[in-house]
Amino acid sequence: MDDKADDQGEIILDVIGQRCPLPVLRARKRLLRLDPGALLRVFASDPVARIDMPHFCAEAGHELVETRDRGTWIEFLIRRGEQVDDPEDIASKPVRDLQP
């Protein structure tokens, strides 16, 4: 997996060769570390990502700016949503919510 910034300030996430559900899980993890409004460009080769990535963005509150078919892989440009929280981020929950 390759994760780097390009000249335009976008973060590039290369998950080519990884199969479902890894492309979406890696994109989710990377988006949670970005500021709201930041752009993530994802390169994926799993055909299922064509269905999963738009669904993930809609459910998680991110904007899927564009999708490009590049032949053997797919390119997604995602803008991080403004009101996105990680439901598994235990550090963000009040202590009273953590007790059984």
**So which residues are the catalytic ones?**
20
| Alpha carbon 42 to chain centroid, angstroms | 8
- Apex CA 43: angle with CA 37 and CA 46, to 5°? 125
Residue type, 11: I
